[in-house]
Amino acid sequence: MGKKTGAAHIVWDWNGTLFHDNDAIIGATNAAFAELGLEPITMEQYRALYCVPVPKFYERLLGRLPTDAEWLVMDETFHRYYSEQHAACSLASGATELLADWQSAGGSQSLLSMYGHEDLVPLVRKFGIEAHFIRVDGRTGPSGGSKAEHMVRHLAALGDVDPARAVVIGDAADDAVAAQHAGARAVLYTGGSHSRASLEEVGVPVVDTLADAVAEAQRLAA
């Protein structure tokens, strides 16, 4: 699919954006914290403090960076717990219709996630939305880092999609950082891992619904 006149190319984030997995995320985070004897945190605390790279998030709660050994234990615990719990989660409200409507209106879209690629693809397929995307990329390599270089590779792999016409829709400040790094725009959604206050510090449009995010993406690319 080539570039479309009058329509942005949307690069969707997965966790916390299209996939409403907040309960599994906070449960997995608290399971990881328990490995170090930390008290559990609430979703409100998580949304106020979460950042990437993830060891920096842990530093905000530990008062220091975790050691390499602690990080490995916490990361393994997080992913094990998440893999057990995310099956109970669903797509964000209205996501399937938004994806279908954008495609039928002539817009192109892709998916880039920091969730492991081998786990992401079957999950997207399970929800029956794979055909809406011209490319689906999950993380390859170690977890816990920024999306920036992944975004550059993702946009390059799309071929004839101009980064200047691409808009990233995500729920984390790092989505906007990654978009800027790759020469794209960003819209941030308040339904996931960050509070509105922390998202507004980034300096890109912040919206409360995915429908508003799509409308804003179209405006930015106009």
Q: List b or e across 160-196, with b for residues whose CB sees 16 or more CB atoms inside 10 angstroms.
A: ebebebbbbbbbbbbbbbbbbbbebbbbbbbbbbbbe
Do 79 and 104 touch, CB atoms closer than 8 A?
no
* pTM given for the model: 0.91
pLDDT at 122: 96
Look-up: residue for tokens 């669903």?
90
What is the per-residue DSSP string for 82-107?
HHHHGGG-EEPTTHHHHHHHHHHTT-
pLDDT for residue 214 is more than 90: yes
Task: State the amino acid at position 74 in one-letter form.
Answer: M
As a whole number of Å, the end-to-end CA separation of the chain is: 19
Report pLDDT digits (tens) over 37-47: 999 999 999 99
Q: What is the mean pLDDT of residues 192-207?
A: 94
pLDDT for residue 2 is more than 50: no
Q: Determine phi and psi for 98, rounding to 5 degrees.
A: -65, -45
Distance CA 217, CA 15 (A): 19
Distance CA 7, CA 202 (A): 24
Report pLDDT digits (tens) over 74-109: 999 999 999 999 999 999 999 999 999 999 999 999
pLDDT at 221: 84
Do 130 and 136 touch, CB atoms closer than 8 A?
yes
SS3 (DSSP) at 166: strand
